[in-house]
Structures are given as C-alpha cells and as structure tokens.
Amino acid sequence: MPELPEVETVRAGLAPYVEGARIQKVTLNRKDLRFPFGPDFVSELEGQTILRAARRAKYLLFPLSSGKTLLSHLGMTGSYRFVEFTYKDPSRYYEPPPGEKHDHVIFDLHHPALGDLHLIYADARRFGFMELFAHEEDSPYLKGLGPEPFGNAFNPAQLAARLKGRKSPIKAMLLDQRVVAGIGNIYASEALHRAHIRPDCPSGALVDKPGRLDDLVFGVREVLAEAVEAGGSTLKDFRNAEGGSGYFQHHFAVYDREGEPCPTPLCTGTIHRIVQAGRSSFFCPVCQKGA
C-alpha cells in the first residue's frame, strides 16, 4: 500500500500538468473502483479547473474551482499516467489495448500552457477509490487524521500526549493515522530502527524517558524525507506519474532484510522479523531497545 513518500511522489509528478488545467471530459470505464462512483461524479468534475495538486496523509487531493475537492486513494495498485508521455498515437486512449484493460478513469484536460492532456487512472486490483467533498470534515477519510509528519504539530510533546498510558506497541501507534498521518508498515519499521526503538516496546513506556520521543520524531522525519527524495519505494506495483519506479527500497535498513547483518555502524546484530497484528515488523534486537 503506498505510504506518504509514494503518494507525495505522485503528487509532485502530477502538479505541473494538472494545476490550472480544465477538466473537459471524464470517462468512466466501469461504475466502481473499491466503491461505486457517486451519481454526480462526472457532472461535478466536467468544466471545473484543478486549482492545486495536494496531499493529506496517504490521499491525493485536487481542489476544484467549484469549491469541491477530488480525493483519490491509490489503494495497492492504483497509478496515474498521461497518454502523451506513454503512447505515440494519442487516439489509442479511447480504446485501450489489451495491456491497458485496467484503465478505469480517463480525464480529458486542457492546460492553458500545455494544451490538451489525457490523464488515465489505472488500478488492476481496484482497491483505490475517488470521492468528491465540499469540506474536509465531510470526508470520512480525512476526519480525525493526526498531524503531518513534516508539520510543526508533530513533535515530542504532541506524541507524548498521545502515547501517555498506552500499552500498545509503538509500531502500532505509528500506524494509527490518528496519531500521525501517512506512515505505513515499511516506514514505521525504518523509523524505529533510526530511533533505536524496538517495534514491540509499549508506547507509554517511552513518554518519561528523556530523548526517546525526540529520537523517534527525528527518525520518522529523516526516513520519510529520504524516501521522498528517492521517489518512494517500489516493491511490486508502485509507479510514479512518469511510469517509473521508486528507489528507496535499495536503502532499507531493516524492512524485508530478515537474517541480514544490521547496517548500524559497530552493531553486531542480525535483523529479526516478528508478526504484529498480522503484519511483519523488522528490527535489530541488539541496537533497538525497549524503553
């Protein structure tokens, strides 16, 4: 499932082409993705100008000139691409060839500087979805989200208030989107390794330990920043707006490295794997400690 770095990579790739573009036509090649499209989905998009390409947590947001916002979640296999950068014959997008049978939504755009563009949303497993909302509080997906990791609201004091008295493992709390938005399984494991904290450490036990939450906040931000710079991680399906892969998977310290030596300088540990709530957690039992 794409996490913050992957979604931010897609946002940055789309922004120069969609910001300021008018949506001339929307073609739905099926009636649903994970959820059905709203009955007015097409009519409320056509004729609108995309003001910005934004991101909140793991969601892409496209504020429109109507005052509404298009929310898009990529699910596991969702991706965006422009026909102009994929096919030599732009007319092909009207009847996708067999290899493009998963092209479910087509946006005909007109950009004042770039001319006509055709943006395709493809999703082989259809775990992604789209919705339109007028106010952020109207969207059940955005309501109650925690602070963005790069924002000032994500800090040791805020984190301490959230974790105080909690017995849940710290890995589970990092995955809780109400605590901090945008972090998933991969980057939680990597951030905890940077902070030298075991993923199964009780969350509340870190609150009164000087410097532990400072290390965690720093580790989260550092890992995510490096992942964004590398274009995210491609383990199987993730593709950016140009159809390329991310590269941060080549820099994983612990994720999916069970049995390999810990890369921490002077550490003699070996990466272990445990299962937490049905998901794999990777860590070094030597340099990652409890509270």
State the CB neighbour count (10 A cutoff) for residue 137: 10
Annotated active-site residue 147? The verdict is: no
- Alpha helices of the chain — where are they, by DSSP H? 4-18, 41-45, 156-163, 170-175, 185-194, 212-229
Phi, psi of 229 (to 5 degrees): -60, -35
Of 2, 5, 149, 199, which one is the catalytic site residue?
2
70/181 Cα distance (integer angstroms): 19
Cα 20 off chain centre by: 23
Please indicate whether residue 3 is annotated as part of the active site: yes
Q: What order do you get walking across the sheet with 129-133 strand by strand? A: 54-56, 59-63, 69-73, 129-133
The residue from 25, 34, 126, 279 that is catalytic is: 279
Answer whether 149's CB lies under 8 Å from 182's CB: yes
Query: From the candidates 11, 55, 56, 58, which is the catalytic residue?
Result: 58
279 is catalytic: yes
Catalytic residue of the set 3, 8, 131, 190 = 3
Q: Are 51 and 142 in contact (CB under 8 A)?
A: no
> Is residue 198 among the annotated active site residues?
no
Residues with active-site annotation: 2-3, 58, 279
